[in-house]
Structure formats: C-alpha cells, structure tokens
Amino acid sequence: MESVLEYHRIVQDLFPVGGEKLVRLAVSDFIGRFLTTKWGERLLSYGELLAELSSCDVPAEGGDSSSCSILNGLSIAVEAISETTPFQRSTVSTLLQHPPTVDSSSSREMARQLLDHVQHSGGGKQGDDVEYVWRRWGLRNRGTVVVLTSMEDPEKEFGEVVDHVKEQIQARNDSIQTVEGHAGLYFIDRLDLYVVNFNPCPPPSAGWQSSTSSHLRSTLINLPVVETHLIPNIHRVLHTIYSLASTTVSGIPMREDTGSQQSGGSQSVNYDVELFHPKQAHADLGTLNFLSEQYRVLDECAHGVYKTVRLKWCTAKMKSADKFPLLLGSFPLTPAFVNSR
C-alpha cells in the first residue's frame, strides 16, 4: 500500500496535467480486476486513489488456492496497454486532420504522403488511416507494468511471469490485427515489466536482474520487507520509467525552536533535502563536465540504490546579485521523502 501511494504521489507532483502520464491500478487473486476501469484524461487524485484502494476486499475463503495468481492480473494489464488513451487518440486525430509541416525535406515528404493518403482514402477503413499515421510518423504504443508481489521461488516464478506476458503480448497483437477499425486498440510495440518481490529472506540473487526480448523488457527486484529498502527501490523504478534524477541540496539553514532561554528559544540547524525532477535538469551540468569525478558532485543516495547530484546551499548577500545568473530553465520537482524536514 505504501509503495502504491508513494508511486502516485511522485507522478502526480511531477506530471500534474496533460494526460500524458497515466496510471491504472489492478489487483489479482482468483481473478484479475481493475480498480480504475479505463484510461482517463488525468491522473486520479489522492482522495480518489484512497477510495479505490479501500474498495479492495481480502480474497474469498474456500477458493482454489492454486488459481490465485498474479498471472490473472497481468493478463488484463497487457490488455490495458493495448487500449489507446485519450491523449493518443487526440494525437492521431490531429495528425490526420492537420498533417505537420517541418523544414526537413524528408519530413515534408512524409507530411505530403500523409495528406495524399487522407485525401484519397475515401473508400478505406478508419483503422487503415489510424495505422498509417502510427507507422508513418513513428508513433509507438509503449507502456509499463509494475507488479508488487511476494514469491516463494523468485527465479522460477519470475520466468513463468515473463513467459506469460510474452504470450499475452503476442496474442493481443494478433487479435487486434483482426479487429475492424482497431476500435480504440493498437499494437503493443514495447512493454517494460518490473516485478518487485517482497521476500523476508531474499535469495542470494537479491537485487535487480534485467533481461530484454522482442516487445518486452523485464526486471526482477528482490527486496527484504524492510522500509529502508522498499521506498528507495520504488524511487529507482520511477527514475527509470519517467527519466527522473535526484538532486540533494545540502546545508540548508533552518531555524528550530529549542525552548532554551540561553539560546534565545531557537537555533539554526543545517539540513539536506533530496529532490526528484526530470533528468533533463542535469543536462547542462553534464555538458559542462561538472558531473565528472573531478568535481565530486555525483554521490550515492543515503540508501545506495541510485545516484544523486549533491549541491551546496548558498545564501547570497543582497548586494551579490552576480551569484545568481540568468535563469537557463525550470523544471517541476518533488521531495524524495515528503515527511522529512
């Protein structure tokens, strides 16, 4: 539960509008079922998420335990990835109605061919036009499935999960081929699968294991059920999915009330604050070579799961305006640990 809430918090903070980053929740026991029935135009609010999670009941007693499996949920998750989102449909519709014109000769030719195709396909099917747009303009239907589960035999069960997802992707793509007009569906070009296995006694292969095959990139993450391991690894998953990075601002002065008469009732304490943001924010630092070992700004995070860029807080004097150069860019950010100081 904590992992789901933290995942949602970061996505909501960094991608609050636009409908480009969407999340659907599913639970799996004897059957797989969605808590969010379809792709919407926005991310669920925190209150809506809690309401959906509170609707989950424990598995019914007396059922066949052998049929209680995460595979049931994975099947509907693959189906969901093949369903187009409102943002995807809007993009395709815009390309059909207003083919883009750009400077490069190759792109102009692609735009001309698209326009000719739309104007002369009066007898064609709508699905043909949609597929032409997707393929001609290099649009790709990609998605990510994150599984939170507990496995008794991680190596064996993870192999079964990967094989099942491969079969489901192939079967889904084959079935979409036969659907007239595609009916709001599209082929899955690639799916990233992360299986987070909470195991009190992780096997010797604890950690991250990844493999890649056609249409599927799969990663197994074996974790002990300890909070200090849980959230940082969820953060690392988020970094990978959404191309995020970490920056830690160190030495931030803050006043704290001590209740002591001798110190005037307060004292100044320096804190470190870790922030998440799009990886692009570090692009200029990399271009200027500031991320090299020479400058020692790239450091391990507190839990050693991922890297963070460590910057020192600077409180410039009012007359030292030269310490704040012109703004080069701005990015959304969110604290790594929302309850920390």
HEC sequence for the chain? CHHHHHHHHHHHHHCCCCCCCCCCCEEECCCEEECCCCCCCCCCCHHHHHHHHHCCCCCCCCCCHHHCCHHHHHHHHHHHHHECCHHHHHHHHHHHHCCCCCCCHHHHHHHHHHHHHHHCCCCCCHHHHHHHHHHHCCCCCEEEEEEEECCCCHHHHHHHHHHHHHHHHHHHHHHHHCCCCCCCECCCCEEEEEEEEECCCCCCCCEEEEEEECCEEEEEEEECCCHHHHHHHHHHHHHHHHCEEEEEEEEEEEEEECCCCCCCCEEEEEEEEEEEEEHHHHHHHHHCCCCCCCCCCEEECCCCCCEEEEEECCCCCCCCHHHCCCCCCCCCCEECCCCCC
Domain housing 250: 245-335
Q: Are residues 35 and 172 in the same domain?
A: yes
Is 238 found in the same domain as 256? no
Note whether residue 340 is domain-resident. Answer: no
Residues 191 and 120 in one domain: no
Q: Of 242, 262, 295, which closes a domain?
A: 242
- Residue pair 128/177 in contact (Cβ under 8 Å)? The answer is no
φ, ψ of residue 161 to 5 degrees: the values are -65, -45
Cα separation, 236 vs 219, in Å, equals 12
One domain, residues 19 and 39: yes
Q: Exposed e or buried b for every residue in 169-178, given b needs 16+ CB within 10 A? A: beebbeebee
What would the two tokens of residue 48 be? 């809506």
Is the domain of 171 the same as that of 104? no
In the listed set 242, 270, 293, which residue is the last one of a domain according to the structure? 242
Q: Cα separation of 326 and 1, whole Å? A: 43
Express each pLDDT in 5-24 by its tens digit.
999 999 999 998 767 788 99
Which two tokens mark 162? 């990967």
Phi/psi of residue 227, each to 5°? -60, -35
Residue 341: inside a domain: no
Supply the pTM of this predicted model. Answer: 0.82
CATH, residue 228: 3.40.50
Same domain, 25 and 170: yes
Provide the token pair at 87.
């943002």
CA gap 239, 41 in Å, rounded? 23
Q: Is the Cβ–Cβ distance between 73 and 28 less than 8 Å? A: yes
Domain assignment present for residue 279? The answer is yes
Residue 150 resides in a domain: yes
Residue 148 placed within a domain = yes
Same domain for 232 and 256: no
pLDDT at 259: 59
Tell me the per-residue pLDDT of 66-90, one tens digit each, with 9 for 90 and over.
667 889 899 999 999 999 888 888 8
263 falls within a domain? yes
Q: What is the pLDDT of residue 64?
A: 63
Q: Are residues 105 and 165 in the same domain?
A: no
Q: What is the pLDDT of residues 136-175, one digit of tens each?
A: 666 788 999 999 998 888 889 999 999 999 999 999 999 9
Q: How far apart are the first and last CA of the chain?
A: 23
For residue 178, is it within any domain?
yes
Mean pLDDT of the residues in the chain:
80
| Residue 106 located in a structural domain | yes
The domain total for the chain is 3
pLDDT tens-place string over residues 221-249: 988 766 677 889 999 999 999 999 999 99
pLDDT band at 122 (very low <50, low <70, confident <90, very high): very low
Statement to judge: residues 158 and 305 lie in one domain: no
Residues 280 and 225 in one domain: no
Domain boundary among 242, 275, 304: 242
Q: Do 175 and 34 belong together in one domain?
A: yes
Do 230 and 263 share a domain, yes or no? no
